[in-house]
Amino acid sequence: MTIRQIQPPATEPVSLAEAKLFLRVEHDTDDTLISALITAARQAVEEFTGRALVTQGWELFVERPGRSLALARPPLQAVTAVEVVAADGTAVPVAEETYVVDSYSEPGRVLLRQGQCWPLMAGSLGLRVAFEAGYDDAAADVPAVYGQAMLLMVGHWYGQREAQEMPGEARVLLRPWRVIGI
């Protein structure tokens, strides 16, 4: 099983203006650095929690799919494709009548319908599920705890340029929001 990001987020859940206000920075000379720290903080939050904060595209590839496929990086917004990947790399769509998307569970899942099986062909490489995950593109849709943890990390890394670890205060905020068991 392999999961990879196929479309990065178009926005960040914390704006440059919010980060500068938090840092009490009024000049523009560090904008590039602060923007990079915001992105790094989001990525660290997503890695630590196992979640996607803002809309982004992912794909799951499974060689031998079971009846239920958990889609990492909740919350699940939509499944955009379910395909069988042939040995030559071409993708054949799976009929929507074959499966159901469970976006209520966390993580979201793709489930085989009763009496159905995945249409894997002889010589096929496996099944590819493309999906969108994240709270939404608007920062207001992302729970505040993630933004606060990101600001703590940006502040820590801005003040201690050689620091690489996530500050303990951010870990404390994020620990209850971790996705366990994927």
Runs of H (alpha helix) within the chain: 16-23, 31-49, 144-159, 168-174
Tens digit of pLDDT for each residue in 98-148?
999 999 999 999 999 999 999 877 778 899 999 999 998 777 889 999 999
Residue pLDDT, tens place only, 1-37: 899 999 999 999 999 999 999 999 999 999 999 999 9
Burial of 66 (0-12, 13-18, 19+ CB in 10 A): exposed
Tell me the C-alpha distance between 45 and 39, whole Å: 10
Span 44-69, mean pLDDT?
95
Residues β-bridged to residue 78? 132
pLDDT of residue 182: 55
